[in-house]
Structure 1
Amino acid sequence: MGELLALLSALLFGATHFFNGLLARRVHSTAVALIGQVGGTVLALVVAPFVAAPHVGGGALGWGALSGVGTGLGVAFLYRGMSGGRFSVVVPLSDVAAVALPVLVGITFLGDRPGVAAWCGIGAAPAALWLVSRSGHTGGTGDADGRGRTASGARDGLIAGTGFALQFIALAQADPAAGLWPLVASRAASVLVLLPTVARHADRLRMPGRLAWSCVGAGALGTAAITMYALATREQLLSLAVVLTALYPAIPVVLAMTFLHERLTRAQQFGLVCAGAAIALISLA
C-alpha cells in the first residue's frame, strides 16, 4: 500500500508541476505559487477534520510548518525556473536534489544503511546535475540568451530541489497521531513564506479569473499529492517513499516533449539517463 500511495503522489505531483509551469508562462510565477498554496490550504482545512487525529501535538505541527517553509521555497523557484526555462531541464534537476538530500539525512541522522548500489546512485547525482544543466549550440543569434535561460533555470531547479527536500524530510517526522493537521500547518506556512515577495509587488496577483481558479485547482492537486506522500511515509521508510514519489519528473518532461515540442541535446539526454539511474540506485537504500 505504501508503494502505491507514493506512486500516486508522483503522478499528482507531475501533473501539478506541469500545469503550474504552463500558468507561470502566462502570469507571474510567484502569483501562481501563492494562489496555488492558498487553494491547497483550503483543501487541507476541509479534509483534515474528517481524518482521525487522536493527538495533535505542537511537535507535529512544528514539523509540518517547517515542511511548509520548504514547500514555499520549492514552488517559488521551481515555477520561476519553468516560466523561462525548459521543463525537461528544470524539473529533473529539482528532483535529483529532492531525492539525494533526504537519503543523505536518513543515512546520517535516521539510521538508514544503504547498500553499495545506493551509494553509486548518490555518486551519480552530481554528474546528472552537470549534464542536464548544460545547453547546446544551435548556431542562431539567440545562443547566448538560450544558454543564460538554461543556466538560470538550472539554478532555480537546484534551489527548488533543496526546498522540496526540506518538505519531504520534515513532513515525514510528524507524528501520525496528528492526522492531517501537520499538512494544514505545512500549507499555511508555505503561504506565509510566499506572502512577502508578493506583498512588495501586489500587481503580480492581477490575472483573469479563469487563470486564478486554475491556480487554485492546481494547488489543490498538489495538496492531494503531498497527502499521498505523507501517508506513504507511514507505511515504509523515508528513503523509499521519497524515491518513489520522486518519479514525478517523468510526467512533466514527457508532456513538455509531447505538447511543447521541447528537444534536448545529447549531453542533456545522457544527463537525464544518469538522473534516472541515480534515482533507481538510491531506491535500493
Structure 2
Amino acid sequence: MGELLALLSALCFGITHFVNGLVSRRHNGLTVALHAQLGGTVLGLLLALVLDSGTASLADYGWGALSGVGTGVGVAFLYRAMSQGAMSVVVPVSDVGAVALPVLVGVCFLGERPALPAWVGIAAVLPALWLVSQNSADLGDKQRQAISAGVPSALVASVGFGVQFLAMAQVGTDSGLWPVVLSRVVSVLVIAAVLASYGARWRLTGKPWAATVAAGALGTLAIVLYLEATRQQLMAIATVLSALYPAIPVLLALVLLKERLNRRQAVGLVCAALAIGLIALH
C-alpha cells in the first residue's frame, strides 16, 4: 500500500508542476509559486479541520516547518526555472536532490536497508530522470542554451525538494495533519520573501490564478499522500517513488501539447517503469 500511495503522490506532484509550468510561461514563476502554495494552504487547513485526529508534538511541528522551508525554496525556484527554460529539462534536474538527499540520510543515519531489487530500482532512477530530460541532438547552440537556461534555478529547487521530503518523513505517525498545514504556511512566507527580493509582481488573476490555485491544492494532496507512504514504507523507497514525478510532465506534454518523444526519453520512461517494478519487489 505504501508504494501505491507514493506513486499517487508522484502523479499529483507531476500534474501540479505541469499545470503551473504552463502558467509560468506567461507569468512570473515566483508569482505562480506564491498563489499555488496559498491554494495548497487552504486545502491543507480544510483537511486538517475535517480529518485530523492526531496529536502533534513540538518536534513534529519543527519538522513540518523545516519541510515548508524546503517546499518554499523548491517551488519558488522550480517555477522560476520553468519560466526561463524547457520544462522537460528543469523538472528532472529539480528532482536530483529530492531523490539523493533523503535516500542518503535514510541509509547512512536512519539505518534503513532496502532489499537488493529495491537498490537496483533506486540506482535506475537517476539515469531514468537524466534520459527523460534529454532533448533532440539536432538542436542548434542557441536553442540548447535557451532550453538549459533554467538549470541553475532548478538545482537550487533540487536542494529544497530534498529538504521537503526528508523533513516531512520525520513527522510522527500520530501527529495528524497540522504539521502539513504549518509546512504550507511556512512555504508561503518563504516564497513571499523570495518574491520580494526579486521585485516580482504579486498579483495573478483570472483563469491562470484559478489553474494555479487548483494545482497548488493538488500539491498539498501529494505531500499528504507522501507522508502517509512514509508511515507504511521505508523513507528511501517512498521518496524515490514519489520523486518519479518528472515523468508525468513529459507524458502530459506528449498527450496534450503534442510534443514528440525522442529515443533517449523513451528509454528513460522505460527505466522509470522498471525502477518502480523493482522497488515494489522489495
Query: Do both share a fold (TM > 0.5)?
Result: yes
Count of equivalent residues: 282
- Displacement, 1:133? 5.9
- Displacement, 1:201? 5.1
1:152 is paired with a residue of what secondary structure?
A: coil
Q: 2:183 maps to which residue?
A: 186
Q: Counterpart amino acid of 2:49?
A: P
CA distances 1:109-166 after superposition (whole Å, capped 9, x unpaired): 1101234555555656665666666655536xxx233222333333333332321121
Structure 1: any 5+ residue segments left out of the alignment?
A: none
1:205 is paired with a residue of what secondary structure?
A: coil
Structure 2: any 5+ residue segments left out of the alignment?
A: none
8 Å CA contact 1:12–1:221 kept in 2: the answer is yes
Q: 1:167 maps to which residue?
A: 164
Q: Counterpart amino acid of 2:85?
A: G
Q: 2:57 maps to which residue?
A: 57
8 Å CA contact 1:99–1:279 kept in 2: the answer is no
Q: Distance in 1 between matches of 2:101 and 2:274?
A: 16
8 Å CA contact 2:99–2:243 kept in 1: the answer is yes
Match of 2:223 among 215, 226, 233: 226
Q: Distance in 2 between matches of 1:123 and 1:244?
A: 12
Query: Cα gap change, 1:128/1:2 in structure 2, threshold over 3 Å: closer, same or farther?
Result: closer
Q: Distance in 1 between matches of 2:10 and 2:137?
A: 33
Q: Distance in 2 between matches of 1:280 and 1:163?
A: 27
Query: Cα gap change, 1:250/1:130 in structure 2, threshold over 3 Å: closer, same or farther?
Result: closer
| Percent identity for Structure 1 against Structure 2 | 55
Using structure 1 for the length normalisation, give the TM-score: 0.85
- Displacement, 1:261? 3.5
Q: 2:70 maps to which residue?
A: 70
Q: 1:208 maps to which residue?
A: 205
CA distances 1:210-234 after superposition (whole Å, capped 9, x unpaired): 3222221111111111111111211
Match of 1:249 among 223, 246, 250: 246
8 Å CA contact 1:133–1:150 kept in 2: the answer is no
Q: 2:25 maps to which residue?
A: 25
Q: 1:99 maps to which residue?
A: 99
Q: Distance in 2 between matches of 1:165 and 1:253?
A: 21
Structure 1 segments (4+ residues) deviating >6 Å? 282-285
8 Å CA contact 2:90–2:148 kept in 1: the answer is no
Q: Which moved more, 1:219-228 or 1:231-240?
A: 231-240
Q: Distance in 2 between matches of 1:282 and 1:153?
A: 31
Q: 1:158 maps to which residue?
A: 155
Query: Cα gap change, 1:54/1:16 in structure 2, threshold over 3 Å: closer, same or farther?
Result: closer
Q: 1:87 maps to which residue?
A: 87
Q: Distance in 1 between matches of 2:141 and 2:62?
A: 45
CA distances 1:141-200 after superposition (whole Å, capped 9, x unpaired): xx2332223333333333323211211110110122220011011101111111122224
Q: Distance in 2 between matches of 1:94 and 1:281?
A: 23
Q: Distance in 1 between matches of 2:36 and 2:7?
A: 22
Counterparts of residues 24-43 of structure 1 (less than 5 Å): 24-43=24-43
Q: 1:114 maps to which residue?
A: 114
Q: Which moved more, 1:161-170 or 1:107-116?
A: 107-116
- Displacement, 1:12? 1.2
Q: Distance in 1 between matches of 2:94 and 2:272?
A: 11
CA distances 1:66-85 after superposition (whole Å, capped 9, x unpaired): 00111111112221222232
Query: Cα gap change, 1:124/1:245 in structure 2, threshold over 3 Å: closer, same or farther?
Result: closer
